């Protein structure tokens, strides 16, 4: 039994995420956590909401709520949807927690002590009317390029030209409309990432088993252009973690907060503290401090490719730079993008299927199966309704659901609701057991390597093998001539249902639970041992009930209805 720390990239607070976000980090992380728990390992699986920064302020303003209240509410919404998708976090924390405040201030303090923080003077737009500095997105004016009158400080949405707020003609504050804006000098703290380039590069180079997608992105940021750049860790905002040097004030930094990219990954650690403070765990340091037991922890992170630079460089710079014995990530699993029906998912344009909408139309397992079996691992992948319908109807309904239904109903009608006795294995059973023993080992190998699509393919092949066996062994025909022969086929097939439930639980936990529940609370739930005993866990005489139909097929009418409903903008 090993100890596994698993984190999913933390979703931003400003709204409900779409299915592309889900499959890019939270869902495969959950798959892996469930698999490792199933195999008997000790797992701590953490996620949280990322709550600071300008977009949270803007979203709160749009919702007409104070930002703290907005974040608390949205955290609750996201937590409930995560539960709906059966994401089995041990704790779903918040980057705005007091624990993260303290820890972020602590890291800034020790990084300063190590000489890795420098002060930089910059000029930024200040609004005396609003009494604050304005981030680029809070400034609008006329585009100098095309004359569009609502160009933002960072970009013109009409001609897409990248802008600097000083380029705008007649700039004004989007908060108050004030036009008396002025450039003021302001000081910020920078993390000296450039000073850590060699140490970071040596660390990345030691990770020879990491996916190429992960290491290639890291190497690009390390070496392209002028190489790894120092990065600002503070902002002139109200909403965020106040800049402090540990517990002490930071002269010259009054009224400033840490930049969201700096405090967000530190929440991975703070989240473990929140987990303990919520009474769910006893000791967070044994997961995070290598001087307190975390030496034997394997730490795996899940994220979309856009998050790779922060996790391979910026967060490790924070950890390594502190000089303290914090646990570094052992393996980073990154994902490409999932596209939606000929285009991109888009939160800002409301395009695609959002997590709440998905659960309104179908149970979580349908989505989990499709998303994981089509995870964008080696390249981007695409959701289409046709493919989704086909995958659900074939894999889940025709193959798995049909097998469970036929076996249990046939047994009930011929032998009653208990595992039948009599008969012995023949060549067909020997061949099936040999095939499944080999395939289960293959499935485990893919899961150990976090090869999500390959694992799904192998699992499907395991389901198919049982179906083909049932079809060719044909207990309904054998029963007339040789009931003992039918009994052994049914006994093995009932055992396959239990085996399928255990193996499938990481992908489709609710359906797996329904399958296991058919055999009563005493049914064995242990992971297959990899030998003949896996096929005899349910002895003759063990009772069962015929479960409800596991999966309903998606009709063409439903598919067309959903296709048009989700084609436009989220209402």
Using CB under 5 A, list all residues that contact Zn ion.
Answer: 143, 145-146, 148, 156, 158-159
**Nearer to Zn ion (CB atom), residue 151 or residue 308:** 151
Q: How far is the CB of 54 from Zn ion (least distance, A)?
A: 21
Q: How far is the CB of 155 from Zn ion (least distance, A)?
A: 9
**Nearer to Zn ion (CB atom), residue 159 or residue 434:** 159
**Nearer to Zn ion (CB atom), residue 2 or residue 159:** 159
Compute φ and ψ for 85, nearest 5 degrees. -85, 5
**Nearer to Zn ion (CB atom), residue 139 or residue 542:** 139
Rounded Cα gap, residues 265 and 100, in angstroms = 10
Question: Are 465 and 437 in contact, with CB atoms under 8 Å apart?
Answer: no
Q: How far is the CB of 151 from Zn ion (least distance, A)?
A: 5
Rounded Cα gap, residues 148 and 142, in angstroms = 5
Q: How far is the CB of 123 from Zn ion (least distance, A)?
A: 23
Rounded Cα gap, residues 484 and 481, in angstroms = 9
**Nearer to Zn ion (CB atom), residue 139 or residue 494:** 139
Q: How far is the CB of 160 from Zn ion (least distance, A)?
A: 7
**Nearer to Zn ion (CB atom), residue 145 or residue 336:** 145
Other Cβ atoms less than 10 A from the Cβ of 208: the count is 7
**Nearer to Zn ion (CB atom), residue 59 or residue 163:** 163
**Nearer to Zn ion (CB atom), residue 46 or residue 151:** 151
Rounded Cα gap, residues 308 and 312, in angstroms = 6
Q: How far is the CB of 171 from Zn ion (least distance, A)?
A: 14
What b/e readout covers 209-220, taking b as 16+ CB neighbours within 10 angstroms?
ebbebbbebbee
**Nearer to Zn ion (CB atom), residue 168 or residue 490:** 168
Q: How far is the CB of 139 from Zn ion (least distance, A)?
A: 14
Dihedral in degrees, nearest 10, Cα atoms 404, 410, 415, 418: 10
Dihedral in degrees, nearest 10, Cα atoms 510, 416, 393, 568: -50
Strands 182-191 and 91-94: unpaired
Question: Are 441 and 530 in contact, with CB atoms under 8 Å apart?
Answer: yes
Q: How far is the CB of 147 from Zn ion (least distance, A)?
A: 7
For residue 148, give Cα distances in angstroms to 143, 169, 507: 5, 10, 49
Question: Are 33 and 455 in contact, with CB atoms under 8 Å apart?
Answer: no
Q: Which of 133, 239, 254, 249 is nearest to 185 (CA)?
A: 133
Q: Please name the residues in contact with 234: beta carbons below 8 A apart, sequence gap of 6 or more.
A: 188, 189, 243, 253, 256, 257, 258, 259
Q: How far is the CB of 360 from Zn ion (least distance, A)?
A: 39
Other Cβ atoms less than 10 A from the Cβ of 426: the count is 12
């Amino acid at each position: 039994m090993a100890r596994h720390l698993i984190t999913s990239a933390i979703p931003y607070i400003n709204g409900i995420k779409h299915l592309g976000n889900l499959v890019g980090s939270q869902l495969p992380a959950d798959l892996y956590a469930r698999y490792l728990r199933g195999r008997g390992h000790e797992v701590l699986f953490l996620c949280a909401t990322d709550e600071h920064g300008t977009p949270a302020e803007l979203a709160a303003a749009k919702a007409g709520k104070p930002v703290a209240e907005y974040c608390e509410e949205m955290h609750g919404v996201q937590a409930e949807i995560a539960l709906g998708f059966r994401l089995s976090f041990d704790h779903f924390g918040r980057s705005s927690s007091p624990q993260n405040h303290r820890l972020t201030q602590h890291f800034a303090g020790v990084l300063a002590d190590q000489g890795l923080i420098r002060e930089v003077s910059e000029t930024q737009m200040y609004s005396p009317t609003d009494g604050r500095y304005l981030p680029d997105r809070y400034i609008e004016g006329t585009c100098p390029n095309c004359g569009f009158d609502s160009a933002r400080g960072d970009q013109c949405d009409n001609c897409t030209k990248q802008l600097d707020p000083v380029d705008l003609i007649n700039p004004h504050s989007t908060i108050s409309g004030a036009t008396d804006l002025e450039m003021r000098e302001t000081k910020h703290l920078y993390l000296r990432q450039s000073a850590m380039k060699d140490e970071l590069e040596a660390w990345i180079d030691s990770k020879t088993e990491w996916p190429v997608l992960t290491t290639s992105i890291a190497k690009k940021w390390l070496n392209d252009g002028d190489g790894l750049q120092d990065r600002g860790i503070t902002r002139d905002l109200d909403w965020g973690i106040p800049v402090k040097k540990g517990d002490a004030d930071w002269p010259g930094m009054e009224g400033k907060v840490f930049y969201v990219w700096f405090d967000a990954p530190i929440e991975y650690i703070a989240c473990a503290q929140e987990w303990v403070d919520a009474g769910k765990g006893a000791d967070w340091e044994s997961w995070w401090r290598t001087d307190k037991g975390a030496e034997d922890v394997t730490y795996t992170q899940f994220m979309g490719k856009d998050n790779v630079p922060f996790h391979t460089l910026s967060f490790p710079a924070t950890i390594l730079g502190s000089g303290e014995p914090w646990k570094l990530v052992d393996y980073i699993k990154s994902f490409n993008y999932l596209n939606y029906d000929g285009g991109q998912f888009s939160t800002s344009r409301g395009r695609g299927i959002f997590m709440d909408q998905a659960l309104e139309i179908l149970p979580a397992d349908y989505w989990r199966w499709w998303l994981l079996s089509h995870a964008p691992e080696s390249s981007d992948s695409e959701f289409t309704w046709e493919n989704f319908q086909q995958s659900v109807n074939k894999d889940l309904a025709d193959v798995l659901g049909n097998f469970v239904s036929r076996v249990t109903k046939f047994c009930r009608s011929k032998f009653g609701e208990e595992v039948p006795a009599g008969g012995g294995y023949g060549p067909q059973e020997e061949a099936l057991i040999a095939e499944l023993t080999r395939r289960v080992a293959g499935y485990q190998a893919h899961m150990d390597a976090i090869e999500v699509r390959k694992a799904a393919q192998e699992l499907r092949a395991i389901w198919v093998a049982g179906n083909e066996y049932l079809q060719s062994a044909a207990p309904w025909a054998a029963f007339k001539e040789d009931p003992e022969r039918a009994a052994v086929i049914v006994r093995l097939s009932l055992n396959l249902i239990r085996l399928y439930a255990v193996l499938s639980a990481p992908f489709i936990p609710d359906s797996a639970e329904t399958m296991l529940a058919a055999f009563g609370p005493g049914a064995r739930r242990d992971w297959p041992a990899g030998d003949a005993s896996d096929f005899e866990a349910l002895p003759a005489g063990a009772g069962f009930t015929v479960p409800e139909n596991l999966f309903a097929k998606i009709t063409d009418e439903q598919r067309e209805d959903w296709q048009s409903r989700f084609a436009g903008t989220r209402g």
